[in-house]
Amino acid sequence: RASRLHQSDNSQKAKALVDESISIMMAAIRNEQSQFWMYEGLGLAMQANHAPIEEVERALMSAVDYSNDEESLLAAGIYMSEVGLHKRALQVLQDVSEVNPYRPEPYVRGLALAKRLGDLEAIKWASVGVLSQAWTNEQRHVEFDAQRTAEAVMLQLKQAGLMEQAKSFGENLSSATHRDCRVVVRWTGNADIDLFMQEPTGTVCSLQNERTTAGGVLLGDQFSVAGQQPVNGYSESYVCPKAFKGEYRLLIRRVWGNVTAGKVTVDIYTDNKKNPHIHEQLELDETGAVVIFDVLHGRRVEPIGAHQLENMREHQEMVGQALLAQQLHSLSDSDAARNFAISRKLAARDGRFFLPGRGAVGYRPDISILPEGANFTAMAPIVSPDRRYVRVTVPPIPIKTGVGDVRTFNFATGQAQNIEDRNDRGNNQGQNGQGGGNNNN
């Protein structure tokens, strides 16, 4: 509406309408009803009113002051970085990392902003933060970038003679790259193996949840490919940089194929001084294999009970959203059925609401679609439980159908009509033409 008012040279009403939108979003944020899109909407609304960037920054920071969760802070910081408020965005991202140091997003965004601003302290903070996280194979470039940046900072500090800072930064990097728990499963043969790691907080790290709130990350999925058998076989890994103390349960399951000799090799690396490395070869049958081990000196010191309650709350929210989606879907289906019933009644009345319907069934057309020609059909696809494979059944050859002569009869007038097949009529004409040519010869 504001855009249309601007186009009609009614700028005052357009400005008032945008100001009203700004007031509504600020009121929602103040009353703890904020959404991710509100920060971007707030900035866009102020820019639409040609507000200077300082006022946009002030409004966004006021909204940040009212934010009571890390998601809102992160959304505000990301939007600030996109509109050019790089320094302020970096400060907000650092605040997010203080609230939750195990989230990777603030460090990734912060590293790019710190390098753009040339802030050495921020670069050190972001590079250490990125290296303290575990990254999947698809995200490995983020880790490599942080490693190169950290090496450049270390060289810069040594060249400047700041040996104490270089030593402290090196210790921080060493602590960041340490991993409390690492599991590697190796196998050979034409098969695919999946890992499921149940952590002490109750979270499960798998392909469906590659990064858990407890810090565990499944680095990637590997499976055999015809003609590409590696020398050392295949492997999948689970890493938790800062793990909770407690019992971990590893489930190894064969998705398809057969592993060589029916065995897989499991290597578990923890910080347990008496037994830091566990090496086992396990039989892998149809039900899979389970390995249970303990992490005795995990560096994650948060109360596990509070984390478990948070996971239960998130799970209940997901279940509630799924139930709501089912209810809305059933309502949409009932609306469709109701609309179909109403349309049938209106069709019987010829669109007339208060007049009686047409009594004779012969006046109601019944339409049937008859396909003609070559048709290629397929059975309904079957999706695997892990939603990674889809099986589709198709016939070996297409099905060819044709429509022959059509005979119609009107029971009211007694009139009958025969509609010949067009293909047959064309073939007959071609045969007659060929015969005439032979007679002429």
Q: Is the dihedral of CA 297, 302, 305, 309 positive or negative?
A: negative
The pLDDT tens digits of the residues spanning 63-75 come to 777 666 778 788 8
Both structure tokens of 380: 């309904």
Beta strands, E only, 112-201: 181-187, 189-198
CATH class of the structural domain 181-302? mainly beta
SS3 of residue 433 by DSSP: helix
For residue 295 the two structure tokens come to 């992490």
What residue type is 405 in one-letter code? D
* pLDDT for res 329: 64
For residue 432, what pLDDT is reported?
42
Residue ranges covered by each domain of the chain: 2-177, 181-302, 368-441
With a CB cutoff of 8 Å and minimum separation 6, the contacts of 436 are none
Looking at the DSSP assignment, which residues form a beta bridge with residue 408?
417
Distance separating alpha carbons of residues 363 and 386, to the nearest angstrom: 52
CA–CA gap between residue 346 and residue 357 (Å, rounded): 8
The confidence score (pLDDT) of residue 390 equals 78
Classify the phi-psi angles of 352: left when phi > 0, otherwise alpha if psi is within -120 to 50, otherwise beta: beta
Q: What is the pLDDT of residue 436?
A: 40
Fold of 2-177: 1.25.40
Structure tokens given for 311: 């996971």
| Longest pairwise C-alpha distance within the chain | 111
Using 50 as the pLDDT threshold, list the residues of the chain that sit under it. Answer: 5, 426, 428-441
